[in-house]
Chain A
Amino acid sequence: MIASIVDTHALLTVVWVSLLAGIGVTAAYGFAILGGVRALELGRSGRIGEAAMFAVVGVLGMATTVGAIVFGIVVLSD
């Protein structure tokens, strides 16, 4: 009954896309902050190797965040 009324495919797409974007992008930004803050702290204390590793985490987190947002807007406007 409900399945014949509701476009379940479209609704389920909304659910999984929202979950992925809502949790995934916020977590990616969390890693950007983690990487940035830890890289600065470790760099100040002279631990360059670890600082570089966290810097990579930060850059990847920020790249994922920005990339996902741009991708989402492009898909929406198509």
Chain B
Amino acid sequence: MEGELLTVIIVVATALAFDFTNGFHDTANVVATSISTRAMAPRIAVGYAAVLNFVGAFISLQVAATVASDVVDPGAISLLVVFGGLVGAIAWNLVTWYFGLPSSSSHALIGGIVGAMLVAEGPGAVFFGSGILGKVMIPALVAPTLAFVIGGAAILSLYRIVGRLRPGPVTQGFRGGQVISGGLLALAHGTNDAQKTMGVIALALVAYGSLPAADPSPPTWVIVSAATAIAAGTYAGGWRIIKTMGSRIHKMDSAQGFAAQGAGAAVILASSAGGFPLSTTHTISGAVIGSGAAKRLSAVRWGVAGNIVAAWILTLPAAAGIGALTYGITRLFGTGAVGPVIVSVLILIGSAMLFSRRARHGGPVAAAPSKA
């Protein structure tokens, strides 16, 4: 039992570390458009997003319920499966962060859990139909497409409404609007992304026996700690991803920034209410590209958009592969805490190497000149 307690502590700590990397890697996308259009200073925008991510985590628990109950069989879950899934997600997040690709932390997490579960219990313990396909894959296609369409339609309607006004006051007006839309986007991110970690910790508590498999609702301490971790991660960084999202896809004016943020927030909030754990990164990317393409197709840097799509396609299988491998390695050391401890140390060493390499050599993603 003591070994199990140590394992569950390691798994919860790893889940919160993932949540932190989620904030670090993912949430910065939320503020990219505000910074790109100079609606907010970078540090203020990041702090503002961190606070609203924290608040958003308390608004709804639908997505946490989906992750805890509808992706894999909670009755067959084990602590090592949850740990393998988390390591798969963290490792993929670190790799895509290093290369400056805004891939999905959410899909990485779900891919990691599914990969580890497949190796541990076989395909019977994974809900491929109504869970993976119905709750993850199809919404993963619908949400960015919807955000693209809404972003485009919103900016066209805005240009029609304010197109004949003097640009100065209009720009000021939309910069003010971006304080609202950027805040909503951060709030939306908290409602969807922080809940995924809550769902995973709930799965770990089911495996440990402190939550019933039939109703794995996360307790309050899980909600508070997940909200805190994602908010801290948001504040800590993500500048490289900001660069990709904010100006490398296309150069935005403040009306486009407002339309993109409004479209992204609307899709994410509606999806959170429906319990769909979608990729906030892909949704925001879709809205940003839509608002640019509606103005002028050539304004979008399609090469960068293509990299985002490539990361999108790779994320589920890559994280699943790492999750499966991690589960296999930890099982070599039995079902106790030895395997997770060894893997955690290896992950920490790998992360330190990536961070120090980045610090020494700077970013592999160079700042591209903006395209008017």
Binding site for B on A (CB under 8 A): 2, 5-7, 10-11, 13-15, 17-19, 21-23, 25-27, 29-34, 36-38, 40, 65, 69, 72-73, 75-77
Across the interface, A26 reaches (CB within 8 A) one of B157, B271, B273, B274, namely B157
> Taking CB as reference atom, which chain A residue is nearest B62?
A76
Given A18-B146, A26-B154, A27-B158 in contact, is the A37-B266 Cβ separation under 8 Å? no
Across the interface, A15 reaches (CB within 8 A) one of B60, B142, B153, B181, namely B142
Note all chain A residues with C-beta closer than 8 A to B177: 29, 33
Main secondary structure of the interface of B (DSSP, over half): helix
Binding site for A on B (CB under 8 A): 59-60, 129-130, 133-135, 138-139, 142-143, 146-147, 149-151, 153-154, 157-158, 161-162, 165-166, 169-170, 173-174, 177, 180-181, 184, 187, 191, 258-259, 262-263, 265-267, 269-276
Across the interface, B173 reaches (CB within 8 A) one of A18, A36, A76, A77, namely A36
> Taking CB as reference atom, which chain B residue is nearest A33?
B173
Note all chain B residues with C-beta closer than 8 A to A21: 262, 266, 269-270
Contacting pair A18 B184 (CB below 8 A): no
Closest 8 pairs between A and B when the two form their complex, measured CB to CB:
A22-B266, A22-B150, A30-B161, A33-B173, A21-B266, A26-B154, A17-B270, A10-B274
B298 to chain A, nearest CB (A): 24
Contacting pair A26 B158 (CB below 8 A): yes
Given A6-B138, A17-B270 in contact, is the A29-B258 Cβ separation under 8 Å? yes
Contacting pair A17 B266 (CB below 8 A): yes
> Taking CB as reference atom, which chain B residue is nearest A74?
B59
Query: In the assembly, what is the distance between CA of A9 and CA of B150, in Å?
Result: 20
Given A17-B270, A29-B258, A69-B184 in contact, is the A11-B139 Cβ separation under 8 Å? yes
Given A25-B262, A29-B177, A30-B157 in contact, is the A37-B165 Cβ separation under 8 Å? yes
Query: In the assembly, what is the distance between CA of A36 and CA of B134, in Å?
Result: 45
Query: In the assembly, what is the distance between CA of A77 and CA of B165, in Å?
Result: 38
Note all chain B residues with C-beta closer than 8 A to A18: 146-147, 150, 263, 266-267, 270-271
Note all chain A residues with C-beta closer than 8 A to B166: 37
Across the interface, A5 reaches (CB within 8 A) one of B133, B150, B181, B273, namely B133
Q: Which residue of B174, B262, B272 has the most chain A CB atoms within 10 A of its CB atom? A: B262
Contacting pair B146 A33 (CB below 8 A): no
Query: In the assembly, what is the distance between CA of A18 and CA of B286, in Å?
Result: 13
Contacting pair B274 A27 (CB below 8 A): no
Q: List 22 A-B contacts (CB under 8 A).
A: A5-B133, A10-B276, A14-B146, A14-B274, A14-B276, A18-B146, A19-B146, A19-B153, A22-B147, A22-B263, A22-B266, A23-B153, A26-B259, A26-B262, A27-B158, A29-B258, A33-B173, A34-B161, A36-B173, A37-B169, A37-B170, A76-B191
